[in-house]
Structure 1
Amino acid sequence: MKTRVSNFGNRIYDLDGNGLIVLFTRRDSNRKNYHARLRISGLKGCKRVSTGSSDFREAEGIARNHHSILRDSSIGESSLSTKKFSEVFHLFLKTSISESNQGAHRSIYALKRYALDFFGKHNISKITVKEVNDFVIWRRLNYVRAIPSDATIKRELSYLRKVFRYAYKKGFIKMLPDSRFESKGRDLPTL
């Protein structure tokens, strides 16, 4: 265990000496509870959690437990700080679609109206083929004027694919969900 004193006078304990699990007390808190900064090797970012304990040994056990849960749940991800679909969508709009593009208005409308409503609060790294299939089913039941045709669903999935490609290029997801669509009498996307 490596111990050092921060610039603010509180002690920082690196439990394994590699920076993956670090315990510290906060200077601005009246309580002396330990907090943990957790990193997963190979991933960007860190996660900060309160252990809720002022006992060092208990806080160490809680921090190690949080770290093992975090390590197991982050398999297949590229970052600990994952974004919601809505955040990635707004970043995509700012950087990828130019105002002069005539087809952009149609795709922006469809994405805002349907994909953002359905996927908005989902964590983008957790969206899989199953969620895309659920979106297609949901989309068939949610429309403004008429039941969407197969061509409409295909077009909206291609718009959605652009958002996922953007997220992939930026490192928010490690693999693209498969959103192929077969129009054999209103079939769902293939698995």
Structure 2
Amino acid sequence: MSPDERRAMIVQAALPLLTTRGAAVTTAQVARAAGIGEATVFRAFPDKDSLLDAAVAEALRPDTVLAELAAIPLDQPLADRLTEAAGALLAHLDRLGAVLAVAHTAGRPGRGRRTTSGDHPPPDGTGRRESADATRTAVAALFAPEADRLRLPADRLAALFLAVLLPGRPPLADDRPTPAELVDLFLHGALAPPTPEESA
């Protein structure tokens, strides 16, 4: 196992512990969860704060939730697809919130926001926009089987779905739905009514 793979494995073991035990989690507990000795944790991370920074950086990455969205079977009904997507997105935000709360409690707010290469992300919020765009694209793909029945473009429906699911969250800061769009969605839904031929 390469040093990078070992670090990633330790972080993956630490994340659920951080969300359940908070800042009180010990490196010995992380080592047990990872199935390694505590000394191996300290070969990968100089101290617990460095491990916490890496856990925050990992929690901020959308890769896991994007993979979960991509794995949703498109042959199930749209309502089931969107329910599964909502569960994945809310679980991701719960994990993120818990890990950020631990970082704040540990006196490390704003730390750990580094890319996997160790660099800090651009200060202009580019990473957040890219993550939001990728999330919207992944949700839009869930509408693909109903493309001929959609009342709005799939990308716009994805934005509306995220706005309803995650009101006031930063992922939609640059693409907030208008009140008229939300009212229209509430009153008329995402799918066009079936044509007379389809109803027959």
TM-based fold match above 0.5: no
Structure with the greater relative contact order (CA < 8 A, sep ≥ 6): 1 or 2? 2
Q: Would you tell me which structure has more helix in proportion to its own residues?
A: 2
- In the superposition, the TM-score normalised over structure 1's length comes to 0.34
Q: Would you tell me which structure has more strand in proportion to its own residues?
A: 1
Larger of the two Rg values belongs to structure: 1
